[in-house]
C-alpha cells in the first residue's frame, strides 16, 4: 500500500491529528502533559509518543503502525484463545482469528495512527477476562442443590417458608 501511495497511511485526518497531538506533548510552543488533551483520548497519544518523535516515522505515518499493528495481532490472538476456550475446536478458533486479521478495515486501521486498534484490543481483553470470570463461576451440583432445597419448601409464587 505504501509503495503505491506514500501518503496512504495518512488519509484519515484523525490519524494525522493523533500523530500531531502526540508530538506536541514534547515539541510545541508550550510542551507538557496539557498538550495531550481530553477530547482525543490521551492513552493513544501516550502510546504514539515515542514513535512520533522519530521524524521519518512521523512524516510517513509509520509511527502509528508501530502501535496499531501489534495491537491488532494481539487482539486476533486473544480472540483465537477465547473461541478455543469456548468451543474447544481448534479449526474454528483458527478460522475466526484469520477472519478478524484479514478484514480489510481491521488491516487498514492496524496500519494507521487511528486509535481503533488499541481500543479494540482493550475491549477484547476485557471480554476475555469477562469470559474467564463467567465460565469459572462455580455451578452447584445437583447433590448440593438438593441439600440446600430440603430445608426450604416453596409456598405460592414468591414466598418461601421453612
Domain extent at residue 94: 8-136
More confident residue, 71 or 158: 71
Is residue 145 a part of any domain in this protein?
A: no
**pLDDT value at residue 1:** 56
C-alpha span between 18 and 36 (Å, rounded): 9
Instruction: Check residue 155 and give its pLDDT.
Output: 47
Mean pLDDT on 90-119: 89
Q: Is residue 75 part of a domain?
A: yes
Total domain count, the chain = 1
Any domain includes 96: yes
Question: SS3 sequence, 62-115?
Answer: HHHHHHHHHHHHHHHHHHHHHHHHHHCCHHHHHHHHHHHHHCHHHHHHHHCCCC
Prediction pTM value: 0.73
Res. 153: pLDDT tops 80 = no
State the chain's mean pLDDT as an integer. Answer: 79
Q: Does residue 155 fall inside a structural domain? A: no
**Mean pLDDT, residues 64-75:** 92
Neighbours of 50 (CB within 10 A): 14
- Check residues 119 and 134 and name the one with the higher pLDDT: 119
Amino acid at each position: 500500500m505504501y509503495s503505491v501511495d506514500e501518503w496512504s497511511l495518512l488519509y484519515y485526518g484523525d490519524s494525522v491529528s493523533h500523530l500531531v497531538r502526540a508530538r506536541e506533548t514534547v515539541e510545541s510552543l508550550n510542551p507538557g502533559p496539557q498538550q495531550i488533551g481530553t477530547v482525543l483520548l490521551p492513552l493513544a497519544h501516550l502510546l504514539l509518543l515515542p514513535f512520533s518523535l522519530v521524524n521519518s516515522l512521523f512524516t510517513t505515518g509509520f509511527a502509528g503502525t508501530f502501535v496499531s499493528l501489534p495491537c491488532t495481532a494481539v487482539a486476533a490472538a486473544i480472540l483465537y484463545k477465547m473461541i478455543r476456550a469456548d468451543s474447544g475446536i481448534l479449526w474454528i478458533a483458527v478460522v475466526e482469528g484469520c477472519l478478524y486479521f484479514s478484514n480489510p478495515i481491521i488491516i487498514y486501521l492496524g496500519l494507521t495512527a487511528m486509535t481503533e486498534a488499541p481500543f479494540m484490543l482493550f475491549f477484547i481483553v476485557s471480554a476475555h477476562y469477562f469470559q474467564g470470570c463467567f465460565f469459572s463461576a462455580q455451578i452447584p451440583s445437583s447433590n448440593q442443590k438438593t441439600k440446600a432445597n430440603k430445608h426450604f419448601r416453596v409456598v405460592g409464587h414468591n414466598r418461601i417458608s421453612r
